Structure 1
Amino acid sequence: MRIDTLQLENFRGLRQVDLVFPGQMTLLVGVNGVGKSAVLDALAILLSAFVSRLQGNANKARKFSPDDIRVGQSGLRTSLQVSIAEQTLSWSMALNQRAGRDAGYKSELEALNELTKPWAEQIAGDQAPFNLPVAVHYGVQRAVVDTPLRVRDRHVYAQLDAYDEALENTATDFHAFFKWFRQREDLENEQIRDHAGYRDPQLVPVRRAIEQFMTGFSDLRVRRNPMRLTVKKDQVEFNLQQLSDGEKCLLALVADLAQRLTLANPGLADPLEGSGVVLIDEIDLHLHPRLQREVVSKLTGIFPNCQFIVSTHSPQILSHVPDDSVWLLRRDETSAEIVCSRPPVGTFGLDSNSVLEIIMDVPEREPQVKARLRELFVLVDGSQLEEAKALIEDIEKTSGELGELVRAKALIRRKELIGR
């Protein structure tokens, strides 16, 4: 499954948004409050119409609420086009509210119903395994606060559990993954007693995804006394709670996605090659710049048939994707409306300072430092060399050895040699 286009009209702070998603990775970029999270949430709501029908209960689908209607407007409209099962189909949802009347909900889901009905019947009939695309939304409120591992009653996991809480607008705590992992490892350990070297076929791809994504990490496992989840980092064993927030969050996200793909694709030799749509808000959350540089290529490499639509504030990430994979959301100075456009220059390969200044409209230097550097070169040009030297010393105390200071010193030496 792949999302092709999205149209939003009067959704929250967005008057009109028309987006296309041509590649495997799409970045949504912009300052806080321009609607990046809103776009991701709209996608999650529209995708829930697909998931709920597979689950055999269309009423479970998320719906737009009156609070989603843009202030001053009477309704909203949304539309999604996807490519799935070698066909292209669209569905739409609208919500209208007049003064003094209840909201009126309208949806056009005929094509979606035609697609999902036979699939739902096949799932309910417990017929031969077939593969399903995943759809999951990781919101900005995601964290590994604890790792619940005690299992009172064994749960029989089915294919549709791949969609458990996948598109909800709630905090993501990854509890379901940890409970699933504990139960699968118990089953694995039972087999190991009789078959040394046995590895659970559902845990294998999850462990492999972690090891490929998290450099130096291996051997995710449950320790029983006391009960805890551990992982090796550079061959040293850590309690999962001892890792940094960035490491915990990234490990849990990768493992959770791998688990969902494993459940959804019982017919694939390698479940990590399953398809689907993955929405991630603030993909750079808690990540060191080095990990930010790597996260895009690793996600698309380890999950080659998943489409990722993510938001970010990171210039490190922005410079590592093709130019047509970036949508810049900004507020138009004339109309004050939020508009979406491609960046003014190609982003791939740009250095971080250029991304900050050109794409994100953030000055490379603090205004005060820039003003003092301008003052410095005015002094040098005017041959006020002693004053210039004093200013250089002053700037170095607060800002260190800047490249402009090296240039200014060279100009001063040249002026002194030629007698000003």
Structure 2
Amino acid sequence: MIVKSLSVANVRAIEAAEFRFRPGFNLIVGVNGAGKTSVLDSLRVCLSAFVRHANGLRARAEGFEREDIRVGANALSVEWPVCVHTQEHQYVIHKPREASAPRERGAGMPRKQVHNTPATASFLGVPLGRATGGEPGGRPIAVLFSTRRALPSERQPSKQVAAGGIQAAFADAFANRALRLGELAAWMRAQDAVRSERALAGRALEALETVVGRFLPGYANLRPDDSKPPRLLIDRGNDTVAVRQVSDGERGVLALVLDLTRRLVQGNPE
């Protein structure tokens, strides 16, 4: 999946803007109120629709509310071209402020005095194919990492995550949520309990250990303890600390790499 550009019109404070993306890291800068968050939210809505369609998920896709329409505008619109295996697709969103509008003609005929102006959100052109899990790069996964992701939380797994399976790989992927240490600890404990029976569980834990060493040099042996609910511990040199006690920057890195690794493992069990 290659995201090439994003065009938005009448989304919150943005009257009209187009953003073109290059391979690698893209940085969006601007003064307060310029619309940086609105751009990220527009990407969130488009990516959630793509992930839902491509993976055949039952979960509801993210969307815009009436309050997201720019003051004084009648509708907002978003155009999002995306390339999948050299095939071009375009996701288009049009959300009017009102569900109907008056007709210039039809006075005295109640059924013809107004016409519907429904909201639309769909892929245009060639139908988007479904991922099988056997693709070289695995299933397409996208995650929103807001600033709250670095905040520690001991909240336990949601029903979607606890149920496991491929659906768990996409649960709360676009939610503005905190780093749920309790959820990850419970998942790691469950993998450790079945690693002798399921090779995938052992590989999942090994993958977590690998990314910790790669992105946080000096840290190792990430593990849940035996408390109820379990806590996440990690070794820093000769000392053992709780993950919630590491610095904000280190915890932010952990939030990113651990969440992505877990989702990739769950979404690609083979």
TM over 0.5: yes
1:36 maps onto 2:36 in alignment? yes
CA RMSD of aligned residues (A): 3.1
- 1:33: how far off? 1.9
TM-score by length of 1: 0.53
Aligned equivalents of 1:266, 1:63: Cα separation in 2: 29
CA contact 1:96–1:103 (8 Å) conserved in 2: yes
Deviates more, 1:65-74 or 1:244-253: 244-253
Q: How does 1:53-202 map onto structure 2 within 5 Å?
A: 53-54=53-54, 56=56, 60-98=60-98, 104-111=118-125, 114-116=127-129, 118-119=130-131, 122=132, 129-130=134-135, 131-148=138-155, 155-168=162-175, 170-174=176-180, 176-188=183-195, 200-202=202-204
Structure-2 residue corresponding to 1:250: 253
What does 1:2-401 correspond to in 2, within 5 Å? 2-54=2-54, 56=56, 60-98=60-98, 104-111=118-125, 114-116=127-129, 118-119=130-131, 122=132, 129-130=134-135, 131-148=138-155, 155-168=162-175, 170-174=176-180, 176-188=183-195, 200-225=202-227, 227-267=230-270
User: In 1, Cα distance between the equivalents of 2:225 and 2:185?
Assistant: 13
Percent sequence identity is: 26
Quick one: structure 1 residues 237 and 110, their matched pair in 2 at CA, closer, same or farther if it must change by over 3 Å? same
Per the alignment, in what secondary structure is the counterpart of residue 28 of structure 1? Answer: coil
Cα distance in 2, alignment partners of residues 212 and 42 from structure 1: 32
Structure 1 unaligned regions, length at least 5: 124-128, 268-420
What do residues 332-385 of structure 1 show as CA deviations (whole Å, max 9, x unaligned)?
xxxxxxxxxxxxxxxxxxxxxxxxxxxxxxxxxxxxxxxxxxxxxxxxxxxxxx
AA in 2 matched with 1:142: R
Aligned residues: 251
Determine if contact 1:221/1:230 at 8 Å carries over to the other structure: yes
Q: 2:92·2:124 contact (CA, 8 Å) conserved in 1?
A: no
SS of 2:234's equivalent? Answer: strand
| Aligned mates of 2:120, 2:171 — CA distance in 1 | 26
TM-score, structure 2 as length reference: 0.80
Structure 1 counterpart of 2:17, which letter?
A: V
Structure 1 residue 161 displacement after superposition: 2.2
Offset, 1:91: 1.2
Determine the C-alpha separation between the residues in 1 that align with 2:158 and 2:35: 40
Q: Taking CA–CA contacts closer than 8 Å with sequence separation of 6 or more, which of the two structures ends up with the larger relative contact order? A: 1
SS at match of 1:72: coil
Q: Is the contact between residue 48 and residue 174 of structure 2 (CA under 8 Å) also seen in structure 1?
A: yes
> How far apart are the structure 1 equivalents of 2:204 and 2:268?
10
SS at match of 2:231: strand
Question: Shift of residue 204 of structure 1?
Answer: 1.5
User: Cα 1:75–1:182, aligned 2, differ >3 Å: closer, same or farther?
Assistant: same
Task: Tell me how far 1:147 sits from its aligned partner.
Answer: 3.4
- Counterpart-to-counterpart distance in 1, 2:158 and 2:53: 30
* Structure number, greater radius of gyration: 1
- Partners of 1:33 and 1:186 in 2: CA distance: 49
Gaps of 5+ in 2: 102-115
Q: Which has the higher helix share?
A: 1
* Counterpart in the other structure of 2:110: none
